[in-house]
Structure 1
Amino acid sequence: MGTLTLRLGGILAAAKHPASAHGVFRRFPRCGGAPIGLLFALSLAGCDEKAQSQAAVPPSPPVTVAQPVKRTVTDWDEFTGRFEAIEEVQVRARVGGFVNSVEFKDGAIVHAGDLLYIIDPRPFEAVASQAQGQLDDARAKAELAKRELDRGLNLVQTSAVSVQVVDQRRQALQAAYAAETQAEGALKAAQLNVEFTHVLAPITGRVSRHLVTPGNLVQGADSGATLLTSIVSLDPIYIYFDVDEVTYQRNSKLWFEGKRPSSRDTSNPVQVTLTGETKPSHEGKMDFLDNRLDISTATLRSRAIVPNKDLSILPGQFGRVRIIGSSPYEALLIPDAAIATDQSRKIVFVVKADNTVEARPVVLGPLDEGLRVIREGLKAEDHVIVDGLQRARVGAKVTPKMAQTPAGDKATAGAKP
């Protein structure tokens, strides 16, 4: 203000003594009896005072806050697994011969006992007829031997025949019975071969394509059985996954402490997320844990069984498997978007009672129904900034606005079914 006073004084002096004033003032024209320079200086002074008054009281930026959600949660461990069929059969020819027909549609669902292939049965029917004749002959001979033995037993009582003759007839009867048994076995084998010419589905499942077309010669089991097709069961289905050693040790400790049931003794629940999905779509249960860790990967092979009513899962698919990793406990949860990173720390911004912002380091837990579990660093009554993080500055004041919906309703991605 001193400079302004000096300038004003100089202007007034120049107005009184135009001849002695500096040339710059002599060049300014007058406007309504006042110098233009005086009016310009006064306007600049007014603008400076207005700008200073506006900058002195900046408005507090608005942010949205919410209190942590408190509920009972269970930790889950997640692994990558691959689906495999519970039953898988390679259908091969059991007898050799020419294929007459294929009785199934490639890729269709077949049931146990359905007809798949017909191999020309005529050679085997002829063998079966021959075996039947041999059996009839053996039975006739056995019947004759039995009658001769009975006659000899009657005659030996009157000494009409010797005991030696009776013994010979008894031996002949035993040989006839043995021949009859052999003939029965040959007939059964021939009849089985006739049955094997009709290749039936041994299990229910989805069949692959046919690998042999009608008119081709196939080999039987005696000389390298020809592969005809394959069948895999689909409902239910296995999913195999490998549990790392650290997780296995932690779960074993929880089991010893009575905080988590062992999957060896209990069918612990599992949740499966298929490729391309954002949340679990199938539920199952643990079915098997191996008896040793793989020495090359330090992992334990595990297996769960999953219902597949719609037959949408095929063997060979990948999936993400979630198994329980703790007993239920009370936890505080907030949206993942409210968490920031400060170098190696995870922090959240909390609005204190005087509306100033505080950065609070937190220890994170797993996601549960779209919200992040906070293990340490927050209290239930804290007001956490969930929207407007970019406008918040540590130590500065903000204008908080409570979220209209609970934090648990803001994020549903990844929610359990």
Structure 2
Amino acid sequence: MRRGAVFLFGLAILAASGVFLWRAQHSVASAGPAGTRSAPTVHVASVAQRDVPIYVRGIGQAQPFNTVQLKSRVDGQIDRILFTEGQQVSAGDPLIEIDPRPYQAAVGQAEGTLAKDQAQLVSAKADLDRSSSLLKNGYASRQAFDQQTAAVGQLTATIKADQATLDAARLNLQFSTIRAPITGRVGKRLVDAGNVVHTADDTDLAEIVQLKPITVLFTVPQDALPDIQAGQRRGALVVEARSGNDQKRLAEGRLTLIGNQIDAQTGTIELKALFENTDETLWPGQFLNARIVTSTRKDAVTVPMAAVQTGIRGKFVYVLDGSASTVTPRDVGMLQSVHGLAVVDGLKPGETVVVDNQDQLAPGMVVKVEPGSNDPMALGPRAEATPS
């Protein structure tokens, strides 16, 4: 029994081996003659030499150049709202009117008091002139003359006080019409007509924000500070405001402030840039990516980022031999990470690199180049470099 089992086991092994050999031979036969596999199709790009700006990146938020909370400086009932929510207003435009009648009455009263005291002063000055003449001729006492002089002085002081009271009354009358202190965009109204406002309540009536110009506050890593300071010593630094996904350039401004200290918790420093914002592309509260051009790398050697691959030894690209249509891997050093491009060393301008299907390639392999693909910018936008 034991020998029979061993014999059957041996037959099973021989049968399995036969099946394996048959499958292997069938696979070889179906593959056809060696070297008949079609060449992979690839896109290529030329190694280009160009000036590449070097950026420091930061994340920030747009803020109004000026913000004003409209408040009433006098008490009273709101008669009219003279603005439309969201309206662009100019400095001096009337926005809110508070019932002016009590302040008109105060102005009239102050004007009457001033006129009365001015008339008394005229009479007192005439009496003083007569008293002076009588004193010279010995018909009046020195005491009477001094009393009349004091009366003239008292009325003169009273008139000054009356004038101040009149000025204050006129100022309050002016304050009954609330005007825009700055040019900007007014927000929603916070108090409706018919409500009574009091200066003691400190109530906000509306808000105006100045959009032209506008500022952007953003932070960058503290390690970027020396480059920013060096660039600023050479001149005003350009700051680009970009969309939140960093794909769209929104506006260009200039750096106006470097913070006076580094945030110890985050290791970042705050910067401020000013943008004219004539087309109102930037909006208060908008989150943005900001980039500062600190310097420019002259005659940098660039390739599309897609051409750079990572291998065991580091970065490399496949270089195309145009005459033989074969590819050869070449080690490169990437000096900067680039928006769509890579600044590298180890390549020469004019050489051709493969930008796709690298996983199908091997050293010395013949490839088929897609017609019209040898455009260094075909697969990438304008060179916009950032520090590596």
Task: Tell me if both proteins adopt one fold, taking TM over 0.5 as the criterion.
Answer: yes
1:410 aligns with 2:378: yes
Q: Could you tell me which residue of structure 2 aligns to residue 55 of structure 1?
A: 34
Whether the 8 Å CA contact 1:141–1:176 is kept in 2: the answer is: yes
In 1: Cα distance, 2:156 partner to 2:60 partner: 60
- Alpha-carbon spacing, 1:295–1:174, altered in 2? closer, same or farther (3 Å): farther
In 2: Cα distance, 1:316 partner to 1:386 partner: 40
Alpha-carbon offset, residue 343 of structure 1: 5.8
SS in 2 for 1:140: helix
Whether the 8 Å CA contact 2:59–2:287 is kept in 1: the answer is: yes
1:169 aligns with 2:148: yes
Whether the 8 Å CA contact 1:348–1:360 is kept in 2: the answer is: yes
From 207, 225, 234, the counterpart of 2:186: 207
- Alpha-carbon spacing, 1:118–1:251, altered in 2? closer, same or farther (3 Å): closer
Q: Could you tell me which residue of structure 2 aligns to residue 6 of structure 1?
A: none
In 1: Cα distance, 2:298 partner to 2:35 partner: 50
- Alpha-carbon spacing, 1:211–1:251, altered in 2? closer, same or farther (3 Å): closer
- Alpha-carbon spacing, 1:385–1:403, altered in 2? closer, same or farther (3 Å): farther
Provide Cα deviations, 1:206-242, integer angstroms capped at 9, x if missing partner. Answer: 111111112211002xx23321111001111101111
- Alpha-carbon spacing, 1:208–1:56, altered in 2? closer, same or farther (3 Å): closer
Whether the 8 Å CA contact 1:279–1:415 is kept in 2: the answer is: no
Provide Cα deviations, 1:277-328, integer angstroms capped at 9, x if missing partner. Answer: 6221211111222222233333222111112222243210111111112234
In 2: Cα distance, 1:213 partner to 1:343 partner: 71
1:380 aligns with 2:349: yes
Whether the 8 Å CA contact 2:63–2:284 is kept in 1: the answer is: yes
In 2: Cα distance, 1:199 partner to 1:64 partner: 66
In 2: Cα distance, 1:372 partner to 1:49 partner: 43
1:365 aligns with 2:336: yes
SS in 2 for 1:326: strand
Q: Could you tell me which residue of structure 1 aligns to residue 135 of structure 2?
A: 156
In 1: Cα distance, 2:28 partner to 2:212 partner: 81
SS in 2 for 1:409: coil
In 2: Cα distance, 1:147 partner to 1:344 partner: 109
- Alpha-carbon spacing, 1:351–1:322, altered in 2? closer, same or farther (3 Å): same
Equivalences for residues 101-120 of structure 1 within 5 A: 101-120=80-99
Provide Cα deviations, 1:129-180, integer angstroms capped at 9, x if missing partner. Answer: 1111111122122222222222222222212223333222222211111100
- Alpha-carbon spacing, 1:310–1:327, altered in 2? closer, same or farther (3 Å): closer
- Structure 2: give runs of 5+ residues left out of the alignment: 1-25
Which letter does structure 2 place at the counterpart of 1:289? Answer: I
1:338 aligns with 2:307: yes
In 1: Cα distance, 2:99 partner to 2:174 partner: 11
In 2: Cα distance, 1:294 partner to 1:378 partner: 41
Alpha-carbon offset, residue 79 of structure 1: 1.0
Whether the 8 Å CA contact 1:66–1:402 is kept in 2: the answer is: no
Percent identical: 30
Alpha-carbon offset, residue 399 of structure 1: 3.2
In 1: Cα distance, 2:28 partner to 2:206 partner: 92
1:235 aligns with 2:212: yes
1:190 aligns with 2:155: no
Alpha-carbon offset, residue 414 of structure 1: 6.2
Alpha-carbon offset, residue 48 of structure 1: 11
Query: In terms of Rg, which structure is larger?
Result: 1
- RMSD of aligned alpha carbons: 2.8
In 1: Cα distance, 2:28 partner to 2:71 partner: 98
Provide Cα deviations, 1:52-101, integer angstroms capped at 9, x if missing partner. Answer: 98226656545443331101121111111100101110000111111111
From 240, 251, 263, the counterpart of 1:282: 251
In 1: Cα distance, 2:286 partner to 2:312 partner: 38
In 1: Cα distance, 2:45 partner to 2:317 partner: 12
Which letter does structure 2 place at the counterpart of 1:303? Answer: K
Provide Cα deviations, 1:9-40, integer angstroms capped at 9, x if missing partner. Answer: xxxxxxxxxxxxxxxxxxxxxxxxxxxxxxxx
- Alpha-carbon spacing, 1:287–1:166, altered in 2? closer, same or farther (3 Å): same
SS in 2 for 1:325: strand
- Alpha-carbon spacing, 1:99–1:56, altered in 2? closer, same or farther (3 Å): closer
Q: Could you tell me which residue of structure 2 aligns to residue 92 of structure 1?
A: 71
SS in 1 for 2:128: helix
In 1: Cα distance, 2:263 partner to 2:27 partner: 78
Q: Could you tell me which residue of structure 1 aligns to residue 13 of structure 2?
A: none
In 2: Cα distance, 1:49 partner to 1:131 partner: 114
Q: Could you tell me which residue of structure 2 aligns to residue 225 of structure 1?
A: 202
